[in-house]
Homo-oligomer: A and B are copies of this chain.
Amino acid sequence: MMDIPLNIWTLFASAQRHYGDVDIVTSHADGSSHRYTYADFAQRSQQLMRALDSLGLPADAVVGSLAWNTYRHLEAYFGVPGSGRVLHTLNLRLSAQELAAVIDHGGDVAILADPELIPLLEDAYAAGGLRKVEHVIVLAGEAPDADLPGLLAYEPLIADQPRQYPRTPWAEDRPLGICHTSGTTGHPKGVVYTHRSTVLHALGVASGAGFSLGPGDCVLPVVPMFHGNAWGVPYAAAMVGAKQVFAAGPFTAQRVIGLLREEQVTVTAGVPTIWIDVAAHLDGPKPLPDLRHIISGGAQPPRSLIARYRADFGIPILQAWGMTETSPLASVAWPKHHLRGLPDDEFIEQAASQAGLPVPTVELVIRDGDGADVDWDGTQVGDLYVRGPWVADGYLHGDGADQFHGGWFHTGDVAVGSPGGYFRIADRTKDLIKSGGEWISSVDMEAALMSHPDIAEAAVIAIPDAKWLERPLACVVTRGVLTLEQIHEHLMSHGFARWQLPDRVEFLDQVPRTSVGKFDKKVLRARFPA
């Protein structure tokens, strides 16, 4: 068989000749939109490769991107690694100080930045960061006035460059990208993706056991390109020639629904909170007739949400699981063939309770404290370990080496395996609540709370307790008036014992979100220290 390296050019090879007439759409927050084709994308990405060469950046330079989901960001996804350099996606929700630290930790020598994010970058520079940065390239027609090193505008920089770049046989293990963890659990750590891992991950995402993407699809990632590569959707979609739709700026339910409809989106992906918001603005029975399925990840979607989409809208919600360290896709909870016959209730129960089956080439084990495999009996919990060709074997600069044991990555999640071969996340290790020597799962309690028709959001944290060490505190967003007693009754009807019930419930307007849209328990813990 031919010895052909799996690299960014593998994903890019068909863009011009085979998908040249396929659209890539960017909807801006101001209501304007931009539309061009894969032929334009292929040409401009190669012009970017040439431009990076023309700036004299080292062949293995790290180039940051501080940008929303746009076609220019997509060009960076291909243009930076196509030229052999490394794309470091930067989280635009970070504070200036955090951002400065991450940029310097990555070793960025240039940064591609959206014009509206230049003030944030200036603050990071003023805070003493960007020490190695020689060029800030503003993703626009012209660069604003700003106190930043080597300020350039993107459009004039690439405009006169040749439209072809020589296809270079980059080695499979060459770094392609860096993403820092979102740091809900401490200091952000850098994960380095390779050309090989990115191609294999794209194949996994495009597979019928991943997101199932092909040339007939139109994808809208409702997850940021600045973190976890928008779950790999841009690379996988480009590989198979799917139409791509990007929403620049913050996601709102109205914008998402508008794009799903107007662009006839067939596959979309995002965190459960956005699907909760979207549901509130939809009416049945077939409000989005083109949508084949929704991928929901980042947290367990409430059972009621899955039931609503199935019954009222006819759209399957598939739970996915992964981490920055797993590229990020590791599993999707596709119902197996023999489950298609289940009664609605059981089917939804199954869908709501499972983080899934591993995407091909990924492997999972659940181990007890002694490192022995626990039984997949639906009840025993253990530490989740993962391995595979797109799973990190370490962090940038040797950080966090204790999370890698004997060829496996210790996820920090606690999981339960079912006899049917599905697993579910029981909790982050640190989110388990240890009360009187027994564990209470905050994830299970949140799922039970959100299954109540009048509870829109729920996050459960541990608060210190003199007698029990820790006790659960429930923070909820309700649609009407609920009492503590009603909440207790509801939890007991879902199998919680009296000693597990939260002694206290806080009623909030909204549960605070992390930079990637998950419930931010760090903020809640700070707000409710006791």
Contacts and interface: CB of A to CB of B under 8 A. Distances in A.
A421 B217 contact: no
Given A1-B192, A206-B360, A209-B240, A376 B17 contact: yes
4 nearest CB pairs, A to B: A208-B214, A18-B421, A1-B197, A203-B203
A338 B192 contact: no
A433 to B, nearest CB: 29
Contacts of A240: 207-209, 360
Contact of A407 (B2, B10, B173, B202): B2
Interface stretch (A100-108, A134-142, A253-261, A387-395): A387-395
A500 interface: no
Nearest to A404: B2
Interface in A316-372: 334-338, 340, 357-358, 360-361, 363
A11 to B, nearest CB: 8
Nearest to A409: B2
Interface in A243-257: 243
A23 B338 contact: yes
Interface in A368-420: 376, 387-393, 407, 409, 417, 419-420
A30 interface: no
Interface residues of A, number: 71
A218 B340 CA distance: 11
A50 interface: no
A14 B332 CA distance: 14
Interface of A: 1-4, 6, 10-11, 13-14, 17-23, 173, 192-194, 196-197, 199-200, 202-204, 206-209, 212-218, 239-243, 264, 266, 334-338, 340, 357-358, 360-361, 363, 376, 387-393, 407, 409, 417, 419-422
Contact of A20 (B204, B335, B421): B421
Contacts of A194: 1
B389 A6 contact: yes
A22 B421 CA distance: 10
B208 A336 contact: no
Nearest to A373: B17
A336 B363 CA distance: 33
Given A2-B391, A2-B407, 8 more contacts: A1-B193, A1-B392, A1-B393, A10-B361, A18-B421, A206-B207, A212-B212, A264-B337
B208 A421 contact: no
Centre residue among A192, A336, A420 by max chain B CB count within 10 A = A336
Contacts of A420: 21
A173 to B, nearest CB: 8
A29 to B, nearest CB: 25
A21 B350 CA distance: 15
A493 to B, nearest CB: 30
A389 to B, nearest CB: 5
Contacts of A388: 2, 4
